[in-house]
Amino acid sequence: MSALELFGALLRRLGWFVVTFWAVFTLSFFLMRLSPGGPFMGEKKLPEEIRRNLDEFYNLNAPLHEQYLTTLGNVVLLNLGPSQKLKDYTVNEVIAEGFPVSMSLGVIALTLALIGGTIAGVVSAVKRNTIYDFGFMGLATLGIAIPNFVLASLAIIIFCFYLPILPAAGWGSPQQIILPAICLAAPYAAYIARLTRAGMLEVLNLDYVRTAYAKGLQPRTVIVKHALRGAILPVVSFIGPAAAGILTGSLVIERIFNVPGFGSHFIDAALQRDYPLAMGAVLVYTALLYVMNSLVDLSYSVIDPRVKLE
């Protein structure tokens, strides 16, 4: 692909990003505004005058179309304003504080999933129908079948109560990262193991791999340098949704392990009807999902030149 074709493809992706971003914003805005209740209608009733002043301060008493245009303008300026529930915090400050924590947890979990899943898939394919194959695929089936919140609960019972070697909550030390990262990575490692095994089984029977064996190359060289590159394509296409899923799926894990990430703020914003913060979270996750999928498509065309980026 030439540089001009690449630039054109990226430009088209940017145009679709704007359309997708606007559609998600519009849908989220009206769903939040049209659902019953509001940010200042909790169990503790506020005096009518105070509630009216708060509605006026946050522009909630304006007509719906005016609220929509004002919020859309703020999004374009990348300024969603103050949070309606967190005192002295703007949405940008909450994102800047919580997103790096969620991103760190997600990157560690994705790295664990890629390394563990790829190794398990390669070993299962090379040692097909052996105890290694049955063992890894059995673990992969369990990893897919067990929800991560159940796995997190079991991990806390085992490693925090019966074997008190790891902390049950918190963030900052390596010991506090181990359990949430493993619980978050487990289902994705299972999918990657199954995809890698299927890809390797298909590639190991191709002529160019047999030719490499016939030339007398070491089995490790054939697997790593020749077979794995062709078998990894389904895994690469899975990384984009997996990365987005790990970051958005960390909401529950962050809550269970009391990790001060962006996911916890997202849950609180949704429960407390904090419109600006909930909107900011939705848009951040939308942008993340779109960017990751675009990067995967780009890497796909780099790994296999026959694939055209459109």
pLDDT digits (tens, 9 = 90+) for 13-23: 889 999 999 99
- The answer, yes or no, to whether residue 46 has pLDDT greater than 70, is no
pLDDT of amino acid 135 = 92
Residue found by looking up tokens 């999004």 in the block:
75
- The answer, yes or no, to whether residue 51 has pLDDT greater than 80, is no
Band of the pLDDT at 134, cuts 50, 70, 90?
very high
What's the whole-number mean pLDDT along residues 154-173? 86
pLDDT of amino acid 162 = 87
Phi, psi of 92 (to 5 degrees): -60, -40
Contacts with 84 (C-beta within 8 Å, 6 or more apart), sequence order: 39, 40, 58, 272, 273, 274, 275, 276, 277
pLDDT of amino acid 190 = 92
- The answer, yes or no, to whether residue 306 has pLDDT greater than 70, is no
- The answer, yes or no, to whether residue 30 has pLDDT greater than 70, is yes
Band of the pLDDT at 1, cuts 50, 70, 90?
low
What's the whole-number mean pLDDT along residues 135-142? 91
**Domain spanning 99-303: CATH 3.40.50.880:** no
pLDDT of amino acid 137 = 92
Is 214 exposed, middle or buried, given 0-12, 13-18 or 19+ CB atoms closer than 10 A? exposed
pLDDT of amino acid 131 = 92
- The answer, yes or no, to whether residue 166 has pLDDT greater than 90, is no
pLDDT of amino acid 309 = 60
pLDDT of amino acid 82 = 82
Report percent pLDDT > 90 for the chain.
Answer: 14
Q: Where are the domains of the chain?
A: 3-77, 99-303
pTM higher than 0.85 for the full model?
A: no
- Work out the mean pLDDT of the chain and round it to a whole number: 83
Band of the pLDDT at 120, cuts 50, 70, 90?
very high
- The answer, yes or no, to whether residue 249 has pLDDT greater than 70, is no
The whole-angstrom distance between residue 249's C-alpha and the CA centroid of its chain comes to: 6
pLDDT of amino acid 307 = 63
Angle in degrees, CA 245, 126, 130, rounded to 5:
100
